[in-house]
Amino acid sequence: MDTRKNFGGLDIFKMIAAFLVVAIHTSPLTSFNTTADFFLTRELARLAVPFFFMVTGHFVLSDRLWGQERDYGPIWRYLGKTGILYGIAILLYLPIGIYAGHYEDLTPYRVVQMLVFDGTFYHLWYFPALILGILIVCLLGRFCKLGVSLAVTAVLYLIGLFGDSYFGLIADVPGVSQAYELGFRLFSYTRNGLFLAPIFLVMGAWLKRGSEKIKPLPNAVSFGVSFCLMTAEGLILRHYDIQRHDSMYLLLPVCMFFLYRLLLTWNRKSVGAFRTISTWIYILHPAMIVVVRRATKVVHQRATVFLVENSLIHYITVCICSTVAALAIAMVLARFRRASFERDRAWIELDMEALGHNVRTLQGLLPDNCQLMPAVKAEGYGHGAVLISKELNRLGVKAFCVASVPEGIQLRKAGVKGEILVLGYTHPRQFDLLRRYRLIQTVVDMSFAEELHKYGKKLRVHIAVDTGMHRIGIKYDQVDEICQIFEWKNLKVDGMFTHLCVSDSDEERRIKFTKAQGEAFFRLVEQLKERGHECPKKHLVASNGVLNYPEFAGDYARVGIALYGVRSTNEDMNRADVVLKPVLSLKARVASVRELASGEGAGYGLAFVAKRPTKLATITIGYADGLSRLLSGGRGSVLIRGHRVPIAGRVCMDQTLVDVTGIPDVQAGDIAVLIGRSGSEVLTAYDMAKAAGTITNEVFTSLGARLTRMVKPRG
């Protein structure tokens, strides 16, 4: 499992790469030494664009093309977003291109060539290259394994190499040179999505695998050596004037291999803003070059000498202007996302950084051989099963448990990868679905095991063992019956489990009972082994077991409520020596504000009666959204503008009244927080559960389907 905190090293280098691209187009060192400038702009800076491609391969393509199940949906969405960004960039540079005469005497073919290969402005070639490269890699991923895809893209790169830095070697070779010249009529450079992009996209996907085992020092040394050799390669090619262009070197993929591995060891907190800012620096810097040069001509000739003719000052100025402009765009986009994010009547806000913290914390309590098998049943404890499961996939979690076949199908249709165990009973009419969607079925008792076997087709199962909870499972001392299940040809036993039903208690008799459960289970495992039946996967612990009985961990830990950052009660959490972060916040809108005179009633049954002049706000959430009616009459609270206010009268189906007397400026559209933070005030799921006389599990799983589940913007 990938327990790396974040990929902050990649985020930081993406900013560095953006500034290296600016250097390519401003030549910072030409005022001082042309060889030094060649090294900076034609050697060091050539690492930038391949790095961008590799990051895309890592995060967009890797698991979706070469994981357990192919999932093209996110790739198409990424291509759509890239296409939109490319379109925006085209429109941005259209006036500059017209002014500079780039679009004179255009033919329809030349327009297509620019859009598909060359870009409509000199740096915009990256976007069509990215799009075309992804399409080629998707085609390879459909028919080829990762290693074969890497080999094919390496061949494409070698072909492109002789149209770039090594063109001089084939320029006079009959037949070959004509073939390349024909190619140059289709595209101006082999630095494009056909020859350059695919190999780095596939390398990024490939290097994601096993990234947690990479050591920094060997890769630092290897990168240093390979980069020195690539520099020598570039200088030799320059000396003999072999290059047609200088974007592709023989040693460039080798350098990028070791550089990327080195960056994967740079374990820093991810900075999502860097991704947006670096992208816009790349897009905007040519415009900033024009702005700086035009501005200096308007201001004074001396400004031109200082800010343009001094190449280093010119580079720094362009970098500053590009960064400021990119920051401004990033802030506008962040504000737009936040405004879009909070537009619903009532919604659930998910903090995926908190989820990642909980995953790492819980995994850290377990032995290395024990994997998390999160319980994402009941809509992921109300959080949203698909959103949570896909993020868990991204965090490296590869096993899940659900309550029913439809819950498992929902995950599969959304592209969730890994093992999915159905914990409950499944009707025989749904046995076909177990096979179709690659689900594992729990054997709830012996008669059900016979039903599964009679189905006549191979089914994967986990055997539930009753060690004292007496809910489901075959009793732990019925060894003959359990052996029979192992021997039935239509059942493939992939695992066996039990449930520790009082593992949350610190009472001595409960502790004794739990230990007896664990001992009974492992005694059964040994008895089965003596009879020749090795149990592949064993799991006993859920959330409480992970925190209180890690010695019973087995191969999987079925974490539930703890994964979401809480325990069933606040007392449970206070007993645990572990810090978990709540994932879920619950929010709604103020719909209306009105004044009541003393003695006036409000709500159903006029259950609320004002004892003084009172101001009431109507918020857009009710019991149909999962807000319990037991919170009526002031038992529940809400946060508005950083103030805690009581629920007034009865909770209604779709709306609820709260008493906002004394809080200034409350108005329609304000956010009401039912679980989460507002200002310095916090309302927790424990507060709501205690007020309703229940546990957090019920609070979460009662949250209604019509609540929009949203991922909180990162960073």
Say which amino acid occupies 89. Answer: A
Cβ atoms of 17 and 165 closer than 8 Å:
no
Closest CA to 673 of 712, 642, 629, 706: 642
Closest CA to 315 of 324, 326, 307: 307
The residues, any chain, with a CB within 8 Å of residue 217's CB and separated by 6 or more, are none
Is 690 one of the catalytic residues?
no
Cα gap 215→13, rounded to integer Å:
18
Please list the residues that pair with 475 across neighbouring strands. 466
Cβ atoms of 441 and 434 closer than 8 Å:
yes
What are the φ and ψ backbone dihedral angles of 368, each rounded to 5 degrees? Answer: -60, -30
Length of the chain, in residues: 715
Cβ atoms of 271 and 8 closer than 8 Å:
yes
What are the φ and ψ backbone dihedral angles of 348, each rounded to 5 degrees? Answer: -105, 130
Cβ atoms of 461 and 439 closer than 8 Å:
no
Closest CA to 673 of 652, 658, 695: 658
Catalytic residue of the set 99, 109, 240, 604: 604
Cα gap 23→152, rounded to integer Å:
32
Cα gap 404→598, rounded to integer Å:
53
* Strand 656-659 with 671-678, pairing: unpaired
Cα gap 144→156, rounded to integer Å:
15
Cα gap 95→341, rounded to integer Å:
34
Cα gap 271→395, rounded to integer Å:
17
Is 604 one of the catalytic residues?
yes
DSSP H or E run through 565: none
Say which amino acid occupies 266. Answer: W
Cα gap 682→703, rounded to integer Å:
19
Catalytic residue of the set 208, 377, 390, 587: 377
Please list the residues that pair with 493 across neighbouring strands. 461
Catalytically annotated residues = 377, 604
